[in-house]
Amino acid sequence: MGDVSDDPRRRVPRTDAVLADARLGPALATLGRARVKEVVVAAQDRARAGEIAPEAVADEVVATLPLTSATLRPILNATGVLLHTNIGRAPLSSAARDALDLAAGTTDVELDLATGGRGRRGAGALGALAAAVPDAGGVHVANNGAAALILAATALASGREIVIARGEMVEIGDGFRLPDLLESTGARLREVGTTNRVHRADYADAVGPDTGMILKVHPSNFVVTGFTSSVPVADLVGLGVPVVSDIGSGLLAPHPLLPAEPDATSELRAGADLVTASGDKLLGGPQAGLLFGDADLVHRLRRHPLARALRVDKLTLAALEATLRGPLPPVRAMLEADVEDLRARAVVLAGKVGGIAVDCAAQVGGGGAPGVELASAGVALPVEAAEALRTGTDPVLARVEQGRCVVDLRSVPPEADARLADAIALALVRAPG
């Protein structure tokens, strides 16, 4: 039987000895003692299991400490999907990020500094939203697009009917279905038309004394083609009940690259009483539910008891205002990127990492502009590189198509090209084969 004094596990350093390592000082200050201690214990366990030498425990802790207390990791989006739901949709502008830092402290979010009394919550963000859509008599912000719609449905149609086209009864992300969402408000759905065709007469026949509102939903994540017909908002006005248009993607005004995508300004000019949209899609801001419409109607929604439960925090208000008042947000820059510039970047990147510069097609994503392809360019790599890129120390999410890994540059900001090249170089070393 061997001498237990020779057991390497006995040489594993004590926790307090590792925590005293000067290299852990900054981490203790930013992460806290409890979080650093978790990493120390994990390294000690690896040493006891024989996976690392006892003398390497402190080095292992230094190498594996997270950069922040949060578990979220930054990812480079090279999928060509501009609004990728799984990685947070719209990346915020530098102005919005600065606003988040400011709002993290105590601010005048609901204080009138001139009088010392209570002020209107988020007055700056609401003012910026009203200025961006001057056709709106009133504006309001909820905590996401579904919240904006559920607030409208509750205030206008709880216990009553919502008239909606059968072909607009959509399913949104993660299996949530619009009918279930609307019925949770206590409203009853009155479906009109067929899956592919609906006419104004269908709506007119359905509207009656028990109708709370007509809901027009943009099918933002699919396209029905062929023998189809739908009814625009302008043709629904005058049926005697409020018309609510859920445009989804957050486009505030028409955009030449997306002629079929509805926008808040056009829907209001067509006569919609209320328009709902998302803030973290084509607007390029934080997650938020945007409401535009008749001043009295918006005020009614704002004063509804449910509005309190759906209100946004100061961080969202700050980021939203900065998005609206600040420079072009990243999503708009991606959308409007020149394809020749993308091709030139692809050639440079391919020259650095050894891939092949290729033309490809990007898309808006995030439930916006379905079926619209955006000409793009990128770098083709071996298919095995996709996993290595995704699991690297600086993760990159690319896409796999036609038996290859494609790094699409339309969704990568130009200032990230050097970082992307480094990540690809490391991934190609790690990729099998």
DSSP codes, 8-37: GGGGSPPHHHHHT-GGGHHHHHHH-HHHHH
Tokens of 369: 């502009």
Q: Residue 259 — φ and ψ, nearest 5°? A: -65, -25
Q: Based on the number of CB atoms within 10 Å of its own CB, is 292 exposed (0-12), middle (13-18) or buried (19 or more)? A: buried
Write 107-112 long-range contacts (CB < 8 A, 24+).
107/314, 107/318, 109/314, 109/317
Beta bridge mates, 139? 292
Domain(s) labelled CATH 3.40.640.10 in the chain stretch across 94-327
Q: At what angle do helices 123-132 and 314-325 cross, to 10 degrees?
A: 40
Please give the class, per CATH, of domain 76-86+332-430. alpha beta
Do strands 138-142 and 289-293 pair parallel, antiparallel, or not at all (unpaired)? antiparallel
pLDDT in tens, the chain (433 residues): 455 556 667 899 999 999 999 999 999 999 999 999 999 999 999 999 999 999 999 999 999 998 888 888 899 999 999 999 999 999 999 999 999 999 999 999 999 999 999 999 999 999 999 999 999 999 999 999 999 999 999 999 999 999 999 998 888 766 778 899 999 999 999 999 998 999 999 999 999 999 999 999 987 666 777 788 999 999 999 999 999 999 988 899 999 999 989 999 999 999 999 999 999 999 999 999 999 999 999 999 999 999 999 999 999 999 999 999 999 999 999 999 999 999 999 999 999 999 999 999 999 988 778 888 999 999 999 999 999 999 998 999 999 999 999 999 999 999 999 999 999 999 999 887 6
Residue 177 CB partners (closer than 8 Å, separation 6+)? 169, 170, 171
The structural architecture, per CATH, of the domain 94-327 is 3-Layer(aba) Sandwich (3.40)
Catalogue the E-assigned strands of 237-349. 243-248, 274-278, 289-293
Say if CB 360 and CB 80 are below 8 A apart: yes
Tokens of 151: 């607030």
Domain(s) labelled CATH 3.90.1150.180 in the chain stretch across 76-86+332-430
Helix (H, G, I), strand (E, B) or coil at 89: coil
Only one residue has tokens 């970047």, namely 345
